[in-house]
Structure 1
């Protein structure tokens, strides 16, 4: 621990969830909270969180048996010259009939090698990443609003100070004009006083432009008109003071609170789980499948015992030759993991 590091635990620590309140500026707090409610950037982040949550639900569904129902009623006509009748010894087989069918199909994949489990792990980590991204966007939006409000307060204070200087310079010029008329001073002193007034006047538009730029930035962040914002900022307030030393806790705690670092860690976890999915695809996949129902070509006999049919049994699939696709898929996922690890280390 560095010798100059100081840590004070206690109630003097600011509320980190509402850190902008430490500036003690009602307008600043109001605008930050409005931005967190109406920011387009936050709306996009929220939509991505909902998308990731729905994707996790899609992956979760693979853990459960799948059941589908179907029904059919139609007229069938077979070709007498087709393979269906090649070995039928009858001279005039029946080739047209009505057919009714009710059927249920079920399937359930037994996750022998963790394909579904690792897919769920990756989807869950990506949901966490999107939530951390949302928190990071909220932090950035709040910080931008606070920065622009503080900048605006600073430019207003500088303009007020400049206007006071300009008023004093004009009064000084008025007195020098009277002295010059009385012949007490030279033209050079008069010219110097006039130049001072002109210089101060020339600096005024730049300060007004800077104020306008801060308000314009706030207008974009809050999706409000500049007139609304100027009304909110109309009350004169001092420039918000920053803390000499923010009581943020231990250095490790500060790293854990950084949403961008937590997001990078979750992206690394998702990329690592993706490797497991790619590896599992190289092994056999076992699915229990079954179907059953009623099928009849005779009117009124659809629900009879003789119309029932069913089948059930395991289905095993094993990739034998894929031209290197599965191996390269693992390699690609490992490279993506390495990239995510590099991003995480860079963030830390």
Structure 2
């Protein structure tokens, strides 16, 4: 009796043993070093250390962009895939938790047997029509009825099931982070495609204006040739400039259509759906005067791809314990209770039942190294996950460094090109005054207009690049997830 009482106590003590390494948090990804250079250099009037804004596209002040990003986050197919994977991970965690408990099932059985050479007696076998003996052949027919329940439970002696739950929980949190990473990339892709669209539309409009001036200049040059005041070389040069201006429009138009299609697909719509609403030329939104970026520590905390890599490391660490536990004995209990007999009326005899309880101890102690190899494999998988985590941190810091450096330098570029555009506009104004005064030709005025047009196209591209750098900063910070 005493040994029977000691069995559950011993089982409970063994069940408290959990093999494998305990996860102690993410490893240190960077050596001791000062704050990355760009985070220091970028402090100033354009970049501040204030906490960043999650809805980073709102300061751009473009309602169409706000609507596109909202629609994309709500209906994009990649987001739907991420949500489905999150539901899978949540269900997998529920399954692992359920595996830790007992398994109970019900069964109902009817069997008919024709047994040769068995004589049960005519009075018993034949009554009620449940069995019949046939004379001469010595065979017997039997009916068997049974209703019952059976249960099984494996004691988690060495924590393998607990490690499985731990790994499933980390995988669920990793799926949440992966979904957030999809949302971050999606918002950035929508903004980048929108900026590229507006860039191409404005450059096309300026290009069409340049073509009109080139055509007018060609007509004037041919007239001058007829009057003997221009050469054939000047006509050929004008024709070449016109052909070059026309050639620049076709690729811009193709890219414009591609970005329209990209925005439609990103918002889960068929290509061409947004042509009517976005087909007209629009302004390029510019970033705010001050861009908050926080600090590297906040960057690492916000980036969902880093969080996903860290949770993968936690899950792979827990799976080492699973593999370790599989090397040791397994203790399980099986129970069975049922009622029945050879007559259907026996199913109503609740006081006459069959019961069975049996513990089972199993141990594959001789598997020729398969279990040890499995442990080594899971340890190598954990090492791979740790390396991936360190790489994700380094990539995040590099992305932030690069985007901040480009943003800083492109601000200088935009300012320089804005001054160049102002000078080109002044040159055009002076050429117009000289033309009106009769001291300059119309061709010279058109040349000044084309120069201003070229300066404006360069400024448009630089502004789009600057706002794209702003978008890249927000993506590097890991913002826009819900």
Corresponding position: 1:327 with 2:377: no
Counterpart in 1 of 2:455? none
Residues 202 and 282 in structure 2, CA contact (< 8 A), matched pair in contact too: no
Distance 1:55 1:225, change over 3 A: closer
| Aligned residue runs from structure 1 range 79-228, under 5 A | 79-80=116-117, 95-228=140-273
Distance 1:79 1:117, change over 3 A: farther
Distance 1:159 1:109, change over 3 A: same
Q: Distance in 1 between matches of 2:375 and 2:281?
A: 62
Q: Distance in 2 between matches of 1:287 and 1:162?
A: 79
Q: Distance in 2 between matches of 1:298 and 1:203?
A: 94
Q: Distance in 2 between matches of 1:313 and 1:300?
A: 29
Q: Distance in 1 between matches of 2:49 and 2:386?
A: 34
Counterpart in 2 of 1:38? 75
Distance 1:93 1:248, change over 3 A: farther
Unaligned runs of at least 5 residues, structure 1: 82-91
What is the CA-CA distance between 1:44 and the residue it aligns to?
2.1
Q: Distance in 2 between matches of 1:79 and 1:48?
A: 58
| Aligned residue runs from structure 1 range 202-281, under 5 A | 202-243=247-288, 246-281=291-326
Aligned with residue 60 of structure 1, among 97, 114, 117: 97
1:35-84 per-residue CA deviation (whole Å, 9 max, x = no partner) reads 23332222222222222211111111112222111111232234548xxx
Secondary structure of the residue aligned to 1:227 is: coil
Q: Distance in 2 between matches of 1:44 and 1:229?
A: 23
What is the CA-CA distance between 1:314 and the residue it aligns to?
2.9
Aligned with residue 8 of structure 1, among 36, 49, 53: 49
User: Which stretch shifts more, 37-46 or 155-164?
Assistant: 37-46
Q: Distance in 1 between matches of 2:328 and 2:155?
A: 13
Residues 62 and 109 in structure 1, CA contact (< 8 A), matched pair in contact too: no
Distance 1:300 1:224, change over 3 A: closer
What is the CA-CA distance between 1:19 and the residue it aligns to?
2.6
TM-score under structure 1 length normalisation: 0.87
Residues 69 and 105 in structure 1, CA contact (< 8 A), matched pair in contact too: yes
Residues 8 and 249 in structure 1, CA contact (< 8 A), matched pair in contact too: yes
Q: Distance in 1 between matches of 2:211 and 2:357?
A: 93
1:133-161 per-residue CA deviation (whole Å, 9 max, x = no partner) reads 12212222222222111101001111111
Q: Distance in 2 between matches of 1:209 and 1:301?
A: 83
What is the CA-CA distance between 1:173 and the residue it aligns to?
3.1
What is the CA-CA distance between 1:223 and the residue it aligns to?
4.1
1:242-267 per-residue CA deviation (whole Å, 9 max, x = no partner) reads 35663131211111211111111111
Q: Distance in 2 between matches of 1:332 and 1:78?
A: 54
Counterpart in 2 of 1:84? none
* Residue-pair matches, total: 334
Secondary structure of the residue aligned to 1:197 is: helix
Distance 1:318 1:39, change over 3 A: same
Residues 39 and 221 in structure 1, CA contact (< 8 A), matched pair in contact too: yes
TM-score under structure 2 length normalisation: 0.64
What is the CA-CA distance between 1:305 and the residue it aligns to?
5.1
Residues 109 and 287 in structure 1, CA contact (< 8 A), matched pair in contact too: yes
Counterpart in 2 of 1:86? none
What is the CA-CA distance between 1:110 and the residue it aligns to?
2.2
